[in-house]
Amino acid sequence: MFELLTDRLNKVFKFLSNKGRLEEKDIDDALRQVRLAFLEADVNFKVVKDFTAKIKERAMGSNILEGLNPAQQIVKIVNEELIATLGGGQSKLTQAPHPPSIMMMVGLQGGGKTTSAAKLAYYLKHSGQKPLLIAADNRRPAAIEQLVALGKQNDLEVYAESPSTPSKDICAHGLERAREIAATWVIADTAGRLQIDEEMMAELADVKKLLSPDEVILVVDAMTGQEAVNVAVEFHNRVNVTGLILTKMDGDARGGAALSIRWVSGVPIKFIGTGEKVSAFEPFYPDRLASRILGMGDMLTLIEKVEKNIDEKKAVELEKKVRNATFDLEDFMEQMKELRKMGPFSQILDMLPGMSKLSGKLDGQEDARMKKIEAIIQSMTPEERHKPDIINGSRRRRIARGSGTTLQDINQFLNQFQQMRKMMKGGFGGKMSRNLMQQFKM
């Protein structure tokens, strides 16, 4: 996420820090590089112009130029202006005074609207709410079936009818169902089009009048850059959008849509999609995203992921095993599974301060490597998992056949695991971290 922009900005900050005391020319040179970095990231030209003008105005203050560390103060200014451009503070969902609160999902086909509806319902359910999804997209082939399937896979309640039923009728009947089951949130997945047209907007206006929603959420694909911004402006002008969901943020190395859409459209970003899994969905915090863009990590989101995915009791038991040097391959596999719950390894590294450069060097095969290691361990007997020292040559050949790997893979993994155990005996710390990096061939 924002790999290219982060790299360019870090080079600018390094240039400033090497200067010591700063002159106006130094700031102009740095801002020229910042301007180019943002334009290459597909950020709207007006946003870039406003952003750099504000930075220069603040950076030219005498307290900055005459300070002990002007470079660090300029980084602070850039961070604050980034947060302001992204919307300032978190924008939460607006709830109705009396349930159910109603949300209407809108967007173009292919933007991830139906999947985002399921992700939002999943998020609300795990936040203590009782959501009901209404499958009202009767225009796109299989849209209703897709939402029903996502509901079954994730234990979410979905109200659906035949695609031949008018979307207004589906929504009306869905609202009745929501009251019957005492749902606290209703999420209506409405029909999209391949492009914005009068028929589409008229239909959305009719559905909106019926639902009288508390939130009208537009789903846009972050990877489409300025096109996402244009779509947001058009939808907001026509149906008064109250919030945005940016999908495919994990694949957006540039970041133009995220950095432009709030400033240009005036509509707050409320959630971002960070992967294909239904759990790969986060509330949007401008300050946290600004921190990621500047390569300073996002420890708060990482802590939230750990708290949500890691069993505290298991963590205490694991700590005891590490201290007593009884950590075995069964424990290792459990930790691999817990790590995978938190999302792609590159995203986790992005949240650690100073580690964004390392995540950019990954080759995208970390998940495949983790699956290979799981296959190796699962091909072992319980005794072998608890006592890896007994795995001799013939056992290694059997494990290789059972896991679909090579004898070289088995030898490499077991050697690395033994090295890690030795380091655990010597104490947790930097050595352990470096060994884990080697485990994933980083």
pLDDT in tens, 365-410: 666 777 888 899 999 999 999 888 899 999 999 999 999 999 999 9
What's the pLDDT at 179?
94
Cis omega (within 30 of 0) on the bond before 141? Answer: no
Q: Kindly state the average pLDDT of the residues 71-91.
A: 85
What pTM value is reported for the model? 0.69
Q: What is the DSSP string of 68-92?
A: S-HHHHHHHHHHHHHHHHHTSS--P
Confidence at 441, pLDDT banded by 50, 70, 90 = very low
pLDDT at 352 over 50: yes
* Helix, strand, coil in percent for the chain, rounding step 5: 60, 10, 30
Nearest to 167 by CA among 139, 142, 195: 139
**Tens-digit pLDDT profile for residues 199-238:** 888 888 889 999 999 999 999 988 888 888 888 998 998 8
Q: Kindly report which listed range (233-242, 255-264, 321-330, 419-428) carries the lowest average pLDDT score.
A: 419-428
Nearest to 189 by CA among 116, 241, 298: 116
Rounded to an integer, what distance in angstroms lies between the CA atom of residue 81 and that of residue 51? 7
Q: Kindly report which listed range (49-58, 255-264, 416-425) carries the lowest average pLDDT score.
A: 416-425
H-helix or E-strand spanning residue 393 = helix 393-403
pLDDT at 324 over 60: yes
What's the pLDDT at 323?
63
The answer to whether the beta carbons of residues 322 and 428 sit under 8 Å apart is: yes
**Tens-digit pLDDT profile for residues 185-196:** 999 999 887 778
pLDDT at 248 over 80: yes
Question: Which has the higher per-residue pLDDT, 127 or 334?
Answer: 127
Q: Mean pLDDT over all residues of the chain? A: 81
pLDDT at 67 over 70: no
Q: Kindly report which listed range (40-54, 108-122, 319-333) carries the lowest average pLDDT score.
A: 319-333
Looking at the chain, the number of H-run helices and the number of E-run strands are 22, 8
pLDDT at 272 over 60: yes
Confidence at 42, pLDDT banded by 50, 70, 90 = confident
Q: Kindly report which listed range (13-27, 161-175, 389-403) carries the lowest average pLDDT score.
A: 13-27
pLDDT at 250 over 50: yes
Domains of the chain plus CATH, in order, are: 3-86 (1.20.120.140), 101-293 (3.40.50.300), 302-439 (1.10.260.30)
pLDDT at 351 over 60: no
pLDDT at 361 over 90: no
pLDDT at 436 over 50: no
pLDDT at 126 over 80: yes
Of all residues in the chain, the percent with pLDDT exceeding 70 is 78
Q: Kindly state the average pLDDT of the residues 68-85.
A: 81
Q: Kindly state the average pLDDT of the residues 42-58.
A: 89
The answer to whether the beta carbons of residues 353 and 383 sit under 8 Å apart is: no
The answer to whether the beta carbons of residues 219 and 112 sit under 8 Å apart is: yes
Q: Kindly state the average pLDDT of the residues 276-301.
A: 79
**Tens-digit pLDDT profile for residues 408-424:** 999 988 888 887 777 66
Rounded to an integer, what distance in angstroms lies between the CA atom of residue 243 and that of residue 287? 18
Taken as a whole, the chain contains a residue count of 442
Question: Which has the higher per-residue pLDDT, 271 or 17?
Answer: 271
Query: Quick one: 296 exposed, middle or buried, by C-beta within 10 A (0-12, 13-18, 19+)?
Result: middle
What's the pLDDT at 27?
84
What interhelical angle do 329-341 and 366-378 show, nearest 10? 150
The answer to whether the beta carbons of residues 250 and 292 sit under 8 Å apart is: no
CA distances from 159 to 122, 151, 180, 183, 205 (A): 15, 10, 12, 12, 21
Token output for 431: 């050595």
